Chain A
Amino acid sequence: MTGVITAQQSETLQRILDEFKGTQGPLIQVLHQAQDVLGYLPAEVQSAVADGLALPLSTVSGVVTFYNFFRTEPRGEHVISICTGTACHVKGADRMIDILRDVLGVGLEETTQDRRFTVQGVRCIGACGLAPVMMIDDEVYGKLDRKRIQEILALYE
């Protein structure tokens, strides 16, 4: 394999594939781990997974594109996941997206030019009690408004 992923990453991918040998129906679990390590699932990773699991590439690609969680494009250093669940919607999630666009200059499913932030919309993250909510990487921030969003983003500067 050449190109997007390094030799070391390719080795890790092989280790993941080995780990799931003998497991029934492992495709989604393998893709999860591969994305954890590589950040995203470009075509060549999908090919490697298909070879490793003896599946047609179309099956792998079909699964990758079916599920929201898998991505085929690289992400920014930090991923801002703005919750678009119902509780957040009724408490102004759309407004929060506008504010992020204002502050960062990018909208949903976009990455800032300096590759520091990717903004994405996610389905409910289950912190409805604190709506509106966003996650930056794995950290949850609730009760958002313009001021709080600015304060939070400053933490990542």
Chain B
Amino acid sequence: MNRRLDVLVCSGAACVSSHSAEVKSALACEIDARGLSDEIRLVETGCMGPCELGPVLLIYPGGTFYVRVSPNDVAEIVEEHFLKGRPVRRLLWETPEARRIAEEKKQVPFFEKQQKIVLANCGEIDPENIEEFIATGGYEALGRALTEKSPEELIETLVASGLRGRGGAGFPTGLKWRFVARESGKTKVVVCNADEGDPGAFMDRSLLEGDPHSVIEGMTIAAYAVGANHGYVYVRAEYPLAIRRLKTAIEQARNAGLLGLNILETGFAFDLEVRIGAGAFVCGEETALIASIEGERGMPRTRPPYPSTSGVFGHPTLINNAETWGNIRHIVLHGAQWFAAIGTPQSPGTKVFALSGKVVNTGLVEVPMGTTLREVIFDIGGGIPNGKAFKAVQTGGPSGGCIPAEYLDTPIDYESLKKLGAIMGSGGIIVMDEDNCMVNIAKYFLDFTCDESCGKCVPCRAGTRQMLDLLEKITDGKGETADIDRLRSLGMMVASTSLCGLGQSAPNPVLSTLKYFGHEYQAHIHEHRCEAKVCPSMIRFEINPAACRACDKCRTVCPVTAITGKPGTPPYQLDAQTCIRCGRCAEVCPFDAIAINSGDLN
């Protein structure tokens, strides 16, 4: 019997933790029990993107897209959809207000404004099957590069495409290739930086989990162009599934003659090795990453010499980020003009973003450069949940900045974000609402960079510590007016004198919040008021006598017996002196009778 349906189960990290594996095994059982195994193929794919809706299923032909599927829905899906051809409507995506149902995946607004190039295969193919990758045109670019193009032509194509590094800094990729190609050394090395250390970023993870061959193909093409025979993929140890899928893909490529001594029988030799990181944020910096590949402490080295001259074990090294590698095969296949026409003239192509925080549709999105922050957060992301107000969007992780509402119409490209004091970074977009304190957020990032500073140069090691101390002083309610200037001048000193990108960008979260949310710093210092009611030293819990029903719940959970009262005799009393502001009482109160207030009592 002919195969008539492909059932794709998203197995990205988010869906797996929403129990997509159980859904898949339930489907397998049911399909088998109904004797449909020959007609229906079940495929585990990489991340489809809308993590919030998981587990999700995509069914071809037709493109039916089921959301929040549980194992209990499986019998109905098989009976109604697979046997009788009637999609299970209650599992389709629908808009909350208009009650519009999306009959197929492309009608879901989350996907409407996206343009998938790098992620085209993620969620559409089985990442552990090289044949599926080849069926989508995979390794065709490699074949053409090796047989029809000279290394010089490839480099010219890349330069003309205008592709810029997707790891954050945005250096023109083609130029990097040219520098390495011009080096005379016999041994050259190609490296994939998949040490995605920014908290709030999961683009590289999703790409390696969903379409590992596209990275391998990009690296192999580059190796041919610059004359390298060995490559490393440096992946975070925190991503075991990505590591496993990548290793499987490398093995498959070797067996298919696409890696190894005689690639596609052209005599070109290239092979890849996976190196696993060990949890150090600074290793995302290229010279620190190189030290880590060599088995050393991941400390950055002074440049020059640049890695293109002296990188891994002293060899000329071409190092690009995973997403950058994912673009290569498309540029080789479709040409520089095609790529340059997407996005903006200065920042061509698309960018993958990991959208998270206080936004309805969290997940992985790919949009043309130049798309505005508003489009990403409100059109694709669906806005802010629970009727809260948007406060800021943070891009670029600990090296980036917080952008306030008045700049939501800024197009996303390298220059525009930099102008606002943020950076593109690797692509984390974290949305914050009125309940997030911006001083606390600045402190959070400084705490991160201070902890991750490798300690090699003084401005970063000591400067971030001093800045963190000042921020702690302010959030503890002990801040003084002069602290704002101290923070600013320290920040500028650390930025201008640190050795590597970590220190140079570490002050960004502080400087950008000082610039756009200076009033919150002022309120913390002068009124001891935390607008978002986050900083524990500035909030107090108060029982609203009118709402208290004397249910006794708050008194029983209070760890310091700050609450007194008799069951059935409202209102209860809360002693502010004893209270440690743990918030347990407010959490358990069924009547919302416990209010959190901030600011000096007059």
Contact = CB atoms under 8 A, between A and B. Distances in A.
Interface of A: 24-29, 31-32, 59, 62-63, 66-70, 84-91, 95, 98, 102, 122-131, 133, 138-142, 146
A139 B20 CA distance: 13
B199 A87 contact: yes
Contact of B200 (A28, A32, A63, A128): A128
Instruction: Please indicate which of the listed interface residues A69, A90, A131 has the most CB atoms of chain B within 10 Å of its own CB.
Output: A90
A68 B17 contact: no
Given A24-B294, A25-B296, A131-B356, A142 B17 contact: yes
Contact of B14 (A27, A28, A142): A142
A130 B14 contact: yes
B593 interface: no
A87 to B, nearest CB: 4
A128 B280 contact: no
Contacts of A131: 356-357, 362
Given A62-B297, A68-B280, A95 B583 contact: yes
A146 B587 contact: yes
Given A29-B295, A69-B237, A129 B52 contact: yes
Instruction: Please indicate which of the listed interface residues B198, B199, B363 has the most CB atoms of chain A within 10 Å of its own CB.
Output: B199
A95 B536 CA distance: 12
A26 B197 CA distance: 22
Interface of B: 13-14, 16-18, 51-52, 54, 196-202, 205, 237-240, 275-281, 292-298, 313, 354-358, 362-364, 394, 397, 428, 430, 432, 436, 441, 444-445, 448, 454, 559, 582-584, 587
Contacts of A142: 14, 17-18
A91 B357 contact: yes
A27 B298 contact: no
A66 B98 CA distance: 54
Given A67-B298, A129-B356, 13 more contacts: A25-B295, A29-B275, A67-B279, A86-B394, A86-B430, A90-B436, A123-B238, A124-B202, A125-B13, A126-B13, A129-B54, A130-B18, A141-B17
B279 A123 contact: yes
B358 A28 contact: no
19 contacts: A25-B295, A25-B296, A29-B295, A31-B278, A63-B278, A63-B295, A68-B280, A70-B278, A86-B428, A87-B199, A123-B199, A126-B238, A127-B13, A128-B201, A128-B354, A128-B356, A128-B362, A129-B51, A129-B364
A95 B296 CA distance: 36
Contacts of A138: 240
Contacts of B313: 24-25
Contacts of B279: 67-69, 122-123
A126 B436 contact: no
B358 A63 contact: no
Instruction: Please indicate which of the listed interface residues B196, B198, B200 has the most CB atoms of chain A within 10 Å of its own CB.
Output: B200
Given A91-B357, A128-B362, A69 B199 contact: no
